[in-house]
């Protein structure tokens, strides 16, 4: 029963959502079921976020309680979670420091701690990307040479100084890059990736609906 009931629920929910696309909500019952199921998806998503908060609290608490290696960082994680979460959950009518509006504790921590840390993380990531690009864009073959030249031109086009340099060569150069490289070759590659991802998502959804894929229940 613990396996059968979730498979039946997944099958019926997936089947209804797939079939309801072909029916008008204002005329058929099955068409009106789709928005109701989407509401339940949002509700279940909220519970998964709650379970994630419980999980991160339990894991870090156990690490702090047992004084594992690096437990100080686990303690900082716990403090950060509760200091950010608790004031934002309290109603703003109690105090202007509660909630997530401008001037609240949550807003102050987000603007002065979270955003600078995210900027630092992405700034460090840029150096790793540049390092990987240097190793990948070596002109060892004709294809690698084309990739190197295209990447150089596109990176010049994305920064004001580079765009000014390209316009000094030819005023229409940046527009040509936008038309033929970004909206041409790049768009074709992106569409191929999107089509492949969509086919993969459709096949995985079909496996879940038919009960073949059961990893969401902890089954291998």
Same domain? 106 vs 168: no
For 177, other C-beta atoms within 10 Å of its C-beta total: 21
Segments of the chain scoring below 70 in pLDDT? 1, 136-139, 217-220
Which percentage of the chain shows pLDDT scores above 70?
A: 94
DSSP structure string for 172-194: THHHHIIIIIIIIIIHHHHHHHH
pLDDT of residue 196: 93
Same domain? 97 vs 31: no
pLDDT of residue 1: 63
Same domain? 62 vs 101: no
| Cα 93 to Cα 88: distance, rounded to the nearest angstrom | 12
Written as six digits, the tokens of 19 are: 């079939």
* Host domain of residue 169: 137-220
R_g over Cα of the chain: 26
Contact 204, 211 (CB under 8 A): no
Contact 166, 174 (CB under 8 A): yes
The number of folded domains in the chain is: 3
Same domain? 152 vs 170: yes
Which is it for the CA torsion 108, 111, 116, 118, positive or negative? positive
Same domain? 110 vs 141: no
Same domain? 100 vs 82: no
Same domain? 103 vs 180: no
pLDDT of residue 157: 74
Residues 6+ apart with CB under 8 A from 181: 150, 153, 154
């Amino acid at each position: 029963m613990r396996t059968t009931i979730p498979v039946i629920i997944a099958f019926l929910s997936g089947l209804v959502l797939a079939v309801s696309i072909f029916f008008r909500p204002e005329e058929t019952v099955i068409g009106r079921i789709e928005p109701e199921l989407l509401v339940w998806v949002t509700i279940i998503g909220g519970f998964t976020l709650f379970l994630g908060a419980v999980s991160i609290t339990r894991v870090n608490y156990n690490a702090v309680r047992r004084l594992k290696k690096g437990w100080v960082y686990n303690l900082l994680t716990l403090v950060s979670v509760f200091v950010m979460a608790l004031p934002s959950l309290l109603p703003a009518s109690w105090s202007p420091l509660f909630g997530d509006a401008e001037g609240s504790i949550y807003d102050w921590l987000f603007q002065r701690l979270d955003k600078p840390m995210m900027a630092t993380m992405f700034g460090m990531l840029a150096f790793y990307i540049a390092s990987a690009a240097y190793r990948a864009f070596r002109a060892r073959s004709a294809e690698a040479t084309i990739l190197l030249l295209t990447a150089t031109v596109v990176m010049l086009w994305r920064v004001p100084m580079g765009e000014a340099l390209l316009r000094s060569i030819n005023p229409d150069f940046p527009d040509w890059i936008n038309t033929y490289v970004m909206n041409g070759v790049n768009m074709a590659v992106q569409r191929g990736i999107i089509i492949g991802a969509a086919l993969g998502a459709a096949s995985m959804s079909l496996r879940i609906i038919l009960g073949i894929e059961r990893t969401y229940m902890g089954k291998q």
